[in-house]
Amino acid sequence: MFNFDFYNPTQILFGQGQIAAIAGLIPPQARVLMTYGGGSIKRNGVYDEVRAALAGHTVLEFAGIEPNPSYETLMQAVALVKSERIDFLLAVGGGSVVDGTKFIAAAALHEGEAWDILAKGGKIVEAALPFGTVLTLPATGSEMNGSAVITRKATQEKRSFMSRKVYPKFSVLDPSKTFTLPLRQVGNGVVDAFAHVMEQYLTTPVNASVQDRFAEGILLTLIEEGPKALSHPDDYDVRANVMWSATLALNGLIGVGVPQDWSTHAIGHELTALYELDHAQTLAIILPSMLRVRKQAKRAKLLQYAARVWGLDGGDEDGRIEAAIARTEFFFRHMGVKTRLADYGLNHASVDAVVAALEAHGMTALGEQREVTPAVSRKVLELSL
């Protein structure tokens, strides 16, 4: 196991009725900006519950943070924060609202060009406004990590940043608030969480037994509970298990002391930036092909995954590996997320465009062994057609 430095200061309030508790977690004198997306929170009652909880606070609002939040929109919120002397942010929504709010929190206190926060991956973030979240879509893990992914529409760039300054102070996870999710977002969330585990688990073995067992536990839970969230959308326990799985998949715990991959995500971000596919759609397309192309480098972990997650421990090794990848692909489709570029009308021309974008953004040595060059990415994309 590698050395590590684990840090996670986010307080989690999990369960039904927890939104009411946020009043006690935000300083009474704070000038709060509540950020949200396109209005789902108004249709499912979350908006009213949050406003009721904050009845004693000064609260302003910024609506319209879009899926794959844009720099252009978020800079409007930064201007509002400055003009209204906001000193606490509250993100209410999915990963896009949470990510967007992290950027607002950092950009509001940043001197100089705000895009540099993304261009430099968060290294220049020296301070950020405090913020909390009320999560309505289990998927990204953003509610308990220090990462955000922001898109600059003008240049079709989707970039991420990471900083210890942008962990939420608290996050409310009420599984009953996910009952209203469209099936597409339920599927997306489960696939995204699954891919997060795979990016940290399916690499090379370093004898990190606890991380491996945690990772396998999350994968098995998503495989068992994910389909039930589609077939029994009002089942609270199913939603609770999916929600906590997604948080644990990317709150840092399973990623400590182990090599991490993230090449599937890097290629996926270019697909979203160029063709506006949902984040999880890109992962369902890329991950199975990535595992096939990098089968040799990942061989030991693929065999472990086949045995412990899919119960495949008989027969020849290559057969077991292929069966495990095929089951992964089937699971994504079963969750309603398609797995081929062609399913979205993309073809060879798109492969060229994605490879060119990876090169332009310096994404030329990806993966746990830095061996995913543009040529390897091309192979993965071609296998995904």
- Name the site residues for Zn ion (rule: CB under 5 A): 192
Can residue 18 be called a binding residue for ligand NZQ (CB under 6 A)?
Answer: no
Please state the closest distance from residue 384 (CB atom) to ligand NZQ, in A.
18
DSSP SS3 for 33? strand
Can residue 38 be called a binding residue for ligand NZQ (CB under 6 A)?
Answer: yes
Taking CB under 6 A as the binding criterion, the range among 77-85, 133-141, 230-238, 314-322 that sits at the site for ligand NZQ is 133-141
Q: What is the residue type of 19?
A: I
Taking CB under 6 A as the binding criterion, the range among 120-128, 147-155, 235-243, 350-358 that sits at the site for ligand NZQ is 147-155
Please state the closest distance from residue 275 (CB atom) to Zn ion, in A.
17
Can residue 39 be called a binding residue for ligand NZQ (CB under 6 A)?
Answer: yes
Please state the closest distance from residue 279 (CB atom) to Zn ion, in A.
6
Q: Where are the alpha helices (DSSP H) in 54-144?
A: 71-83, 95-107, 115-119
Q: Is 336 left (phi over 0), alpha (psi -120 to 50) or beta?
A: left
Number of residues that bind ligand NZQ (CB under 6 A): 34
Q: How far is CA 298 from CA 201, 295, 370, in A?
A: 10, 5, 13
Of 76-95, which residues contact ligand NZQ (CB under 6 A)? 93-95
- Choose between 31 and 184: whose C-beta lies nearer to ligand NZQ: 184
- Choose between 9 and 39: whose C-beta lies nearer to ligand NZQ: 39
Going 266 to 203 to 189 to 209, the CA torsion angle's sign is negative
Alpha-carbon radius of gyration of the chain: 20
Element (H, E) at 170: strand 170-173
Tell me which of 279, 301, 327, 379 binds ligand NZQ, using CB under 6 A: 279
Can residue 149 be called a binding residue for ligand NZQ (CB under 6 A)?
Answer: yes
Tell me which of 18, 147, 247, 350 binds ligand NZQ, using CB under 6 A: 147
Angle at 203 between CA 199 and CA 204, to 5 degrees: 160
Tell me which of 50, 90, 202, 250 binds ligand NZQ, using CB under 6 A: 250
| DSSP single-letter state for residue 61 | E
- Choose between 140 and 289: whose C-beta lies nearer to ligand NZQ: 140
Assess contact for 150 and 71: CB atoms under 8 A. yes
- Choose between 172 and 249: whose C-beta lies nearer to Zn ion: 249
Please state the closest distance from residue 265 (CB atom) to Zn ion, in A.
6
Assess contact for 107 and 75: CB atoms under 8 A. yes
- Choose between 41 and 59: whose C-beta lies nearer to ligand NZQ: 41
Q: Is 176 left (phi over 0), alpha (psi -120 to 50) or beta?
A: alpha
Can residue 204 be called a binding residue for ligand NZQ (CB under 6 A)?
Answer: no
Taking CB under 6 A as the binding criterion, the range among 22-30, 75-83, 145-153, 356-364 that sits at the site for ligand NZQ is 145-153
Can residue 118 be called a binding residue for ligand NZQ (CB under 6 A)?
Answer: no
- Which residues 6+ apart lie within 8 Å of 316 measured at CB? none
* Among Zn ion, ligand NZQ, none, residue 180 binds (CB under 5-8 Å by kind): ligand NZQ
Q: How far apart (Å, rounded) are the C-alpha atoms in residues 47 and 61?
A: 11
- Choose between 41 and 337: whose C-beta lies nearer to ligand NZQ: 41
Please state the closest distance from residue 135 (CB atom) to ligand NZQ, in A.
8
Residue with tokens 């326990």: 237
DSSP SS3 for 282? helix
* Among ligand NZQ, Zn ion, none, residue 325 binds (CB under 5-8 Å by kind): none
Backbone phi, then psi, for 83, in 5-degree steps?
A: -70, -30
Q: Is 55 left (phi over 0), alpha (psi -120 to 50) or beta?
A: alpha
Q: How far apart (Å, rounded) are the C-alpha atoms in residues 251 and 346?
A: 33
**Residues in contact with ligand NZQ by the rule CB under 6 A:** 37-41, 44, 67-68, 93-97, 99, 136-137, 139-142, 145, 147-149, 177-178, 180-181, 185, 188, 192, 250, 265, 279
